């Protein structure tokens, strides 16, 4: 066999082995597999964007296929195409395929879904958080600036995503509902801001009512001013006093006391006695002293 014949045989075999449509299918397989999720629930992939198939790789697969001579009507066979909804077609043997032109559209949309993903994730988180805190008694809460900050971030992320090319009208899953990020700007971002403002007022009203309720027994005994503030601050902490530094829970005794103590047990095994003294409703202290043993601390409670 001549050298020329050998070269021709090798080239013919190489050409026969080349299959740009198959190569395109291999490269596009992960995009076909994830497309349903990215199209319908991109927020669920927000924390995996760095590991998921990348838009640039999708574009490269299309570019390589076209460079190899494939037209937009070329069939790209890949079993994961079954995961697709609108783009998949079936041949006479019921084998799934996607036209190269339709695959290119998936790549173009993929970039947009990547932009929507973090917005959808934040919106879902906001809806979930709001639902959880709506069941909490406002009196147990303090004004949480993070609610307001998250609403502000929601507005900013929607605007930035749309400016970058995300479709404002493409509907995706947001928590348990389906809406576009354009709709979510009102239904989630603005609603959360309104809720946060309303919650602030509920917290303020609830805490004022709770304070008045807890203060009433002390006020009945003439406690006011600094002394009342102190008693309400430590309303859930035992006060001690008397000869043996015993616990005092009777409000009348607390109101009449000239000195009261807190007994703190420290992690290192020592004991700290914290002393407050009173002149009417004026408060002095605290003055703290730490003791090695409980017996020493008890004697220091005077």
Q: Do 61 and 161 reside in the same domain of the chain?
A: no
Determine the Cα–Cα distance for residues 31 and 96; give it in Å rounded to an integer.
15
Q: Which residues of 219-250 are buried (b: 16+ CB within 10 A; e: fewer)?
A: eeeebeebbbebbeeeeeeebbbeeebeebee
Q: Do 199 and 184 reside in the same domain of the chain?
A: yes
In a domain, 257, yes or no: yes
Q: Do 146 and 77 reside in the same domain of the chain?
A: no
φ, ψ at 265 (rounded to 5°)? -95, 115
Q: Do 169 and 256 reside in the same domain of the chain?
A: no
pLDDT value for 18: 75
Tokens of 63: 């570019």
pLDDT value for 92: 95
pLDDT, one tens digit per residue, over 112-143 is 999 999 999 999 999 998 888 877 777 777 66
Sign of CA dihedral 82, 85, 87, 89: positive
In a domain, 237, yes or no: yes
In a domain, 280, yes or no: yes
The order of strands in the sheet holding 271-279 is 246-248, 239-241, 259-265, 271-279, 282-291
Prediction pTM value: 0.72
The 3 state secondary structure assigned to 163-178 is HHCCCCCCEEEECCEE
Among all chains, which residue has been given the structure tokens 């964007």? 49
Q: Check: CB of residue 278 under 8 Å from CB of residue 257.
A: yes
DSSP secondary structure letters along 81-105? GGG-SSS-EE-TT--EEEEHHHHHH
In a domain, 188, yes or no: yes
Domain residues for the domain of 32 are 3-111
Q: Do 194 and 128 reside in the same domain of the chain?
A: yes
Q: Do 58 and 102 reside in the same domain of the chain?
A: yes
Domain boundary among 111, 138, 163: 111
Q: Tally the domains of the chain.
A: 3
pLDDT value for 8: 41
Q: Check: CB of residue 43 under 8 Å from CB of residue 121.
A: yes
Residues whose CB is less than 8 angstroms from the CB of residue 186 and which lie 6 or more positions away in sequence, other chains included: none
Domain boundary among 111, 140, 162: 111
Q: Do 236 and 253 reside in the same domain of the chain?
A: yes
Q: Do 106 and 122 reside in the same domain of the chain?
A: no
Each of the 302 residues of the chain gets a pLDDT tens digit; together they read: 555 444 444 334 444 447 999 999 999 999 999 999 999 999 999 999 999 999 999 999 999 999 999 999 999 999 999 989 899 999 999 999 999 999 999 999 999 999 999 999 999 999 998 888 877 777 777 666 789 999 999 999 999 999 999 999 999 999 999 999 999 999 999 999 999 999 888 888 888 998 999 999 999 999 999 999 999 999 889 999 877 789 998 999 999 999 999 999 999 999 999 999 999 999 998 999 999 998 888 887 87
Q: Do 139 and 200 reside in the same domain of the chain?
A: yes
Q: Do 186 and 278 reside in the same domain of the chain?
A: no
pLDDT value for 3: 54
């Amino acid at each position: 066999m001549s050298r020329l014949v050998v070269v021709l045989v090798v080239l013919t075999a190489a050409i026969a082995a080349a299959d740009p449509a198959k190569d395109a299918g291999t490269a596009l397989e992960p995009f076909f597999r994830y497309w349903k999720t990215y199209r319908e629930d991109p927020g669920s992939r927000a924390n995996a964007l760095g590991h998921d198939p990348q838009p640039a790789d999708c574009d490269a697969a299309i570019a390589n296929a076209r460079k190899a001579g494939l037209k937009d009507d070329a069939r790209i066979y890949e079993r994961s195409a079954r995961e697709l909804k609108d783009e998949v077609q079936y041949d006479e043997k019921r084998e799934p395929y996607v036209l190269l032109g339709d695959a290119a559209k998936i790549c173009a949309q993929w970039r947009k879904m990547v932009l929507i993903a973090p917005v959808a994730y934040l919106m879902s988180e906001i809806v979930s958080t709001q639902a959880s805190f709506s069941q909490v008694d406002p009196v147990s809460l303090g004004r949480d600036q993070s609610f307001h900050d998250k609403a502000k971030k929601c507005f900013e992320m929607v605007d930035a995503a749309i400016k970058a090319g995300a479709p404002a009208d493409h509907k995706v899953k947001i928590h348990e509902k389906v809406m576009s990020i354009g709709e979510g700007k009102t239904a989630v971002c603005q609603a959360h801001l309104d809720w946060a403002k309303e919650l602030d007022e509920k917290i303020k009203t609830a805490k004022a009512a709770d304070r008045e309720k807890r203060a009433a027994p002390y006020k009945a005994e003439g406690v006011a001013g600094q002394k009342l503030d102190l008693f309400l601050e430590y309303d859930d902490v035992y006060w001690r006093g008397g000869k043996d530094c015993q616990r005092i829970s009777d409000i009348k005794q607390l109101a009449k006391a000239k000195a009261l103590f807190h007994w703190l047990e420290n992690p290192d095994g020592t004991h700290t006695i914290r002393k407050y003294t009173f002149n009417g409703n004026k408060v002095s202290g605290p003055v703290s002293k730490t003791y090695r043993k409980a017996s020493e601390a008890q004697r220091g409670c005077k």
